[in-house]
A and B are shown apart, each in its own frame.
Chain A
Amino acid sequence: MGTAATRVRAMGADVHLLVVGGPPSLLEEARELVEALEARWSRFRPDSEVSRLNLQAGRPVRVSPETLTLVRRALHGAAVTAGRYDPTVLGAVLRAGYDRSFELLPADPPPGRSPLRLGWRRIAVDQARSTVTLPPGVGFDPGGIGKGLAADLLVRRLLARGAAGACANLGGDLRVDGDAPAAGPWVVDVGHPLRREPAATIGLRRGAVATSSRVRRAWGPRGDRHHLIDPATGHPARTGLAAATVVAAEGWQAEVLAKAAFLAGIPEGLRLLAATGADGLLVGDRGSWHQSAGFERFARRVQERAG
């Protein structure tokens, strides 16, 4: 069975799509879906549904089924992680200087100003009317969960259209399902935050992988300002971790847990993974290695365990 692949740039990330079998039009269809989701979810596009939500906070805003799902997933993720993952850190992200697409961000942007505050518990979702209401003064930032959910939607669409297997990878938030390109499982390298070589190579029949790293999307002269904002402090988190990788059933779940585990640090991050049934690998600031009890079931080799 043939495999088709393409790489595009979308959602501020490198997107890697792989399709096993199915009609040749599938990759083009997938590209169109990525672009459509970015048009709905980008906080940098004034006409996106997310921008409309933020501009019209305090009033119900009618949104597409995909955006309704995005908000519901974000709220569920916040509830499961007791708010460690918080989709309303937009104000803190802006105050940290991340006010435009990362490619356009200067090397050392000045701190921004924003009156937006936290408030995920007061977001209202009306399933019947397909509306979302943000509390006044609260901003919604889909960020990574948008990429994870997009990976889920892409793989589901590709399988529904006749693919035997599919992989959608949006900047490291990836989902796989169905037949892999070669016999055996889907094989994925997990990047090491401090080294060139992968931290591990993992295999899975179906599921998702996401990595949150403070060395990516970092700025400032020492690179100590980054996008992983701790809702408890409103500042880029310092938890002793350089990166957290999570393997979960779905892309949005892996993304929520990777961010929450990173923010929780060790050992709370591992306890969070255990509570949800997910697995993962946490790499400390100096390369220390901390993995969930079940991570070995996925891993072929481990590059570094010193710590």
Chain B
Amino acid sequence: MDGRRRRHAAARSRVAAGALSVAVFLGLGTNMAATAAGSGNSDTAGDTTGATEQQGSWSATPAAPSQDQQAVTSSQGS
């Protein structure tokens, strides 16, 4: 029984953490760090990245290459 309680508590904790991260991502978070960090996709006075993507998605713009196109660079891992 204790084991089941612990598993349920752990599951609730994971769900809560997931909900928090989604809320922060969508700009609903009110904790200090999120406020200090601001929106990850907004241009502000101190923002030097020129980020202009729409709020709410971190998606890149896909375009699957054809078979004859060669890679110009690679992501090997850091």
By a beta-carbon cutoff of 8 Å, the part of chain B in contact with chain A is 14, 17-18, 20-22, 24-25, 29, 31-34, 36-41, 44-51, 53, 56-67, 69-78
Distance in Å: Cβ of A236 to nearest Cβ of chain B: 15
A-B pair count, CB < 8 Å, reads 229
Give the residues in chain B near A298, CB-CB below 8 Å.
60, 62-64
Give the residues in chain B near A125, CB-CB below 8 Å.
36-37
- In the complex, the answer to whether B25 meets A80 with C-beta atoms within 8 Å is yes
- In the complex, the answer to whether A80 meets B75 with C-beta atoms within 8 Å is no
- In the complex, the answer to whether A249 meets B69 with C-beta atoms within 8 Å is no
A306 interface residue (CB < 8 Å to B): no
By a beta-carbon cutoff of 8 Å, the part of chain A in contact with chain B is 13, 16, 18, 65-66, 68-69, 72-82, 120-125, 127, 130, 144, 147, 149, 152-153, 156, 160, 167, 169, 171-174, 180-182, 184-191, 193, 198, 201-213, 215-217, 243, 245, 247-250, 252-253, 257, 268, 271-272, 275-279, 294, 296-301
- In the complex, the answer to whether A79 meets B29 with C-beta atoms within 8 Å is yes
13 more contacts with CB within 8 A, not counting A76-B33, A213-B78, are: A66-B48, A76-B40, A120-B33, A180-B72, A181-B72, A188-B74, A243-B77, A249-B53, A276-B58, A278-B60, A297-B62, A298-B64, A299-B64
Knowing A169-B75, A180-B72, say if A69 contacts B46 (CB, 8 Å): yes
The listed residue (A66, A82, A187, A276) touching B57 by CB distance below 8 A is A276
- In the complex, the answer to whether A211 meets B77 with C-beta atoms within 8 Å is yes
The listed residue (A75, A122, A184) touching B65 by CB distance below 8 A is A184
Distance in Å: Cβ of B36 to nearest Cβ of chain A: 4
Knowing A216-B78, A276-B58, say if A130 contacts B46 (CB, 8 Å): yes
Task: For the complex, give the distance between the alpha carbons of A182 and B71 in Å.
Answer: 10
- In the complex, the answer to whether A172 meets B74 with C-beta atoms within 8 Å is yes
Knowing A82-B17, A206-B60, A298-B60, say if A189 contacts B74 (CB, 8 Å): yes
28 example contacts (A-B, Cβ-Cβ < 8 A) are as follows A69-B47, A72-B37, A72-B46, A73-B40, A75-B36, A79-B24, A79-B31, A80-B24, A82-B20, A121-B33, A127-B38, A152-B50, A172-B76, A174-B73, A180-B72, A184-B65, A187-B65, A193-B77, A198-B71, A205-B62, A207-B60, A209-B75, A249-B60, A250-B58, A268-B14, A276-B25, A279-B60, A298-B63
Give the residues in chain B near A182, CB-CB below 8 Å.
69
Give the residues in chain A near B14, CB-CB below 8 Å.
268
Question: Across the two chains, which residue of chain B brings its CB closest to A209?
Answer: B75
Task: For the complex, give the distance between the alpha carbons of A51 and B77 in Å.
Answer: 25
Task: For the complex, give the distance between the alpha carbons of A211 and B66 in Å.
Answer: 23
Give the residues in chain B near A66, CB-CB below 8 Å.
48
Give the residues in chain A near B49, CB-CB below 8 Å.
69, 73, 149, 152-153, 156, 250, 252
Task: For the complex, give the distance between the alpha carbons of A78 and B72 in Å.
Answer: 31
Task: For the complex, give the distance between the alpha carbons of A120 and B71 in Å.
Answer: 38
- In the complex, the answer to whether B21 meets A79 with C-beta atoms within 8 Å is yes
- In the complex, the answer to whether B36 meets A123 with C-beta atoms within 8 Å is yes
Give the residues in chain B near A206, CB-CB below 8 Å.
60-61
The listed residue (A68, A212, A247, A276) touching B77 by CB distance below 8 A is A212
